[in-house]
Amino acid sequence: MLRALETVVGPGHVVTDPDILAGRAVDYTGRYRGRAGALVRPGSAEEVAAVLRVCRDAGAHVTVQGGRTSLVAGTVPEHDDVLLSTERLRALGDVDTLERRVQAGAGATLAAVQHAGAAAGLVFGVDLAARDTATVGGMASTNAGGLRTVRYGNMGEQVLGLQVALPDGSLLRRHSLVRSDNTGYDLPALFVGAEGTLGVITALDLRLHPTPSHRVTAVCGFADLEALVAAGRMFRDVDGIAALELIDGRAGALIRQHLGVAVPVDGDWMLLVELAADHDQSDRLADLLDGVQLCGEPAVGVDVAARQRLWQVRESLAEVLGSYGPPLKFDVSLPLSAIAGFARDAVALLGTHAPDALPLLFGHVGEGNLHLNVLRCPVEREQAVYGPMMELIAGCGGNVSSEHGVGSRKRPYLGMSREPADIAAMRAVKAALDPTGYLNAAVLFV
Amino acid sequence: MLRALETVVGPGHVVTDPDILAGRAVDYTGRYRGRAGALVRPGSAEEVAAVLRVCRDAGAHVTVQGGRTSLVAGTVPEHDDVLLSTERLRALGDVDTLERRVQAGAGATLAAVQHAGAAAGLVFGVDLAARDTATVGGMASTNAGGLRTVRYGNMGEQVLGLQVALPDGSLLRRHSLVRSDNTGYDLPALFVGAEGTLGVITALDLRLHPTPSHRVTAVCGFADLEALVAAGRMFRDVDGIAALELIDGRAGALIRQHLGVAVPVDGDWMLLVELAADHDQSDRLADLLDGVQLCGEPAVGVDVAARQRLWQVRESLAEVLGSYGPPLKFDVSLPLSAIAGFARDAVALLGTHAPDALPLLFGHVGEGNLHLNVLRCPVEREQAVYGPMMELIAGCGGNVSSEHGVGSRKRPYLGMSREPADIAAMRAVKAALDPTGYLNAAVLFV
């Protein structure tokens, strides 16, 4: 099989060095490790399709890897897999400013797409902390969300067309030239969020948006989470909302202490709000904040430097969390009415099972999408915490996975958020496109 | 089989009266007619599932009918089908103002959902002329667009959850309580736009939007289509855009003549523009219109009565068109750069094949979604026109079907907009969920 793969992609792009493979078989957090037999780096969609045919015919498992920033072990191989990397598929087409779109290879990073859009005076609708590493192919496969979902929706809402190598080795193209495309099944929506189980996305047509000419950002403190959620609900529904980030106040203290970043407000909870429009929003934001019960004065920024200082509170989180070792992460979504109760119950649950752990809550409050990051949770305590936490979420009417997807980490809990008939239908679709189940076998289904 | 169906739904809800069946076997335009063996009106999702099991086991074909407003013969049976009507599934749940959603039975009309939203101070994101008849189940099945797509997207973007009776007679529920739901395949997106071929939607969780407190509407005249499209492109990208309707100037003359409706502007082409926001937009609209090369002064309305008078120009179209007999309708999408050229070529094509016909062009210019309505085209000339028109659209880089779907009318042309691997993947999904192909067999695929 290795020889056949070399014939497809060239000898330089089939890697079997054990050290390299070991580095590729572990997840981003360092918590989950698998086994890989080879790493293959195809240089075109046709090569991707040919690699799939070779692997299928050889009975090998294939795990697709983009930027490998999954936080649910979405790229960890389990069967001495062939790792299929999209890293060479990073071409970017010219931006079409009339239809506001750009074609990108699956391996292009989010930052590369953002820069291409900005150079044409447009903005890409998704932003997240891993922007320099995460690839748009992987982000589409997981339907990634992030810091701008409240305004532009998730990754899937940016995808106008796809090219996909199917498990049978054929290439499916749905790169229409028009914005309105309603002919036949919405297959792009099926591949988006399928976590690579139905095919390998090789290229994407991505929507771009007009760039707002005015932005205003505020960080506000709240004495309790109920008050923050109520404010978040109000801001969610105002015109021009561009970001709505919940930040745990204890994280603010850590950021101040570890990084020396100025955290401009106090309060147990912070909310970063941004409005963006083609006309000045400062007075409107001030009016809206006047109606909210804050803890102290909000910090407001209008010019780029002032806004960046406020965003640094949010953007510093990953670095601070990382300094405590790989955090245990729960990415969930909840009804707004359940958020405060969940936060209390989750802290109590952790107090029982991992008393030394430090839970910090963040998230995109507009969508009820929360990230519970647990610092100092020993790896050996993880299993005791994980299942009960999933049950707690399901009991609150929430979903066990949100913008990070299911990956391999949350496979056992799929049935908490999806009914048997639903899972059966998903499995039927999977079997229709990948009858032997060789593609991304480690994720989504048990 | 009829006895078994009566056992499921009660004798009063299995109809075999030939006159009633004949009325149900013809399409909305009166152009396309099929044959039905029975009409069944289940009263619950469980009854829908049971009806499907009975029909599948009996080897009968099933055609699903909602409001039967399809303009591509999407509900015309071809095999002495059992017609499965969703008309009894019209329950509406309470509006959840916190999560901004409402649960609706598939048979609820668009107008009923709009009223329920309005009563709770919210707005439903889709509006179209057939609002009193079209059902939300049918609209989801066809991913209907309409007058508000430029602001809120198509029907699919309003669907948060679905209940679907699958061809195997099982019931799939994905009614999550949360706004952000990314767990497993996006099956709702697969059923949306599948035109009933993969299952029968029985209920929906629908998104609602905040109601803008200010609206301003304008109708503007243009001397040529290029100038209108350029203005449409500009308006598409401004904050608060709420409608962007292209209206053929000749239709304005007919509306004046037949209905006595005041058409306030001249010009060969008209554009209806509406901005909506939580603050006054009148000055902004005036500023934006100042930069556009119009034909005469625009007519602008701010209060409800003035705005309704302007909307009447658009809303009167269906009545005027209908007075010429069933129009031949082409619903297509085009790149903005191709619209003016397509309009010229389409008129020339009709001049060759149906010289007495009167082509009128409308559409949602923000999405490049056009409706070419051909009046006075004799039914016997339809076939000569249809294929060449589809070829013209595909040659312009457009899609042969847009918000109306493929239905049975456009089945032969699916291959103009979808490649063979794409159609093969769609067929594989269809076969996975409906192996005998008994559900809505007349639409989508040849």
Q: What is the pLDDT of residues A166-202, one digit of tens each?
A: 999 999 999 777 777 889 999 999 999 999 999 999 9
* Among candidates A98, A334, A419 on the partner chain, residue whose Cβ is nearest the Cβ of B173: A419
Strands A36-40 and A81-85: parallel
Residues of chain A with CATH 3.30.70.2740: 324-404
Which of A160, A176, A178, A400 would best serve as a mutation to test chain B binding (most B beta carbons within 10 A)? A178
Q: How far is A402 from chain B (nearest CA, A)?
A: 5
Predicted pLDDT at A105: 98
pLDDT in tens, A369-412: 999 999 998 888 888 999 999 999 999 999 999 889 999 999 99
Spatial separation of the C-alpha atoms in residues B14 and B25, rounded to whole Å: 15
Which CATH fold would you assign to the domain B92-210?
Answer: 3.30.465
pLDDT in tens, A290-341: 999 999 999 999 999 999 999 999 988 888 888 888 888 899 899 999 999 9
Whether the per-residue pLDDT at B223 is higher than 80: the answer is yes
| Mean pLDDT over the full length of chain A | 94
Whether the per-residue pLDDT at A347 is higher than 90: the answer is yes
Which of B98, B143, B171, B182 would best serve as a mutation to test chain A binding (most A beta carbons within 10 A)? B182
Strands B241-248 and B171-174: unpaired
Whether the per-residue pLDDT at A70 is higher than 80: the answer is yes
Spatial separation of the C-alpha atoms in residues A368 and A360, rounded to whole Å: 16
Q: How far is A68 from chain B (nearest CA, A)?
A: 19
Question: Which residue on chain A is closest to B237 by alpha carbon?
Answer: A210
Helix B339-353 to helix B225-236 angle, to the nearest 10 degrees? 140
Predicted pLDDT at B55: 98
CATH architecture of A324-404: 2-Layer Sandwich (3.30)
Spatial separation of the C-alpha atoms in residues A428 and A439, rounded to whole Å: 15
Spatial separation of the C-alpha atoms in residues A186 and B444, rounded to whole Å: 13
- Block residue for tokens 């100092």: A376
Q: What is the mean pLDDT of residues A24-49?
A: 94
Q: How far is A258 from chain B (nearest CA, A)?
A: 33
ipTM summary value: 0.94
Strands B36-40 and A328-333: unpaired
B328-333 β-sheet, strand order: B299-301, B214-222, B269-277, B241-248, B358-364, B369-375, B328-333
Whether the per-residue pLDDT at B283 is higher than 90: the answer is yes
Whether the per-residue pLDDT at B179 is higher than 80: the answer is no
Contacts of residue B403 in chain A, CB cutoff 8 Å? 180, 182
Residues of chain B with CATH 3.30.70.2190: 212-322
Which amino acid is residue A141, in one-letter code?
Answer: S
Q: What is the mean pLDDT of residues B9-15?
A: 97
Contacts of residue B399 in chain A, CB cutoff 8 Å? 176, 178, 180-183
* Among candidates A166, A237, A419 on the partner chain, residue whose Cβ is nearest the Cβ of B210: A237
Burial class (CB in 10 A: 0-12, 13-18, 19+), A111: middle
Best CA proximity match to B236, nearest among A88, A54, A98: A98
Residue pair A63/A51 in contact (Cβ under 8 Å)? The answer is no
- Block residue for tokens 């294939």: A62
Burial class (CB in 10 A: 0-12, 13-18, 19+), A344: exposed
CB contact under 8 A, B184 and A233: no
- Domain B212-322 of CATH type 3.10.20.600: no
* Among candidates A240, A399, A424 on the partner chain, residue whose Cβ is nearest the Cβ of B239: A240
pTM of the model: 0.95
Q: How far is B170 from chain A (nearest CA, A)?
A: 7
Label residue B260 left, alpha or beta by phi (over 0 means left) and psi (-120 to 50 means alpha): left
Contacts of residue A279 in chain B, CB cutoff 8 Å? 239, 284
* Among candidates B177, B185, B237 on the partner chain, residue whose Cβ is nearest the Cβ of A429: B185
Count of A-B CB contacts under 8 Å = 236
Spatial separation of the C-alpha atoms in residues B70 and B364, rounded to whole Å: 18
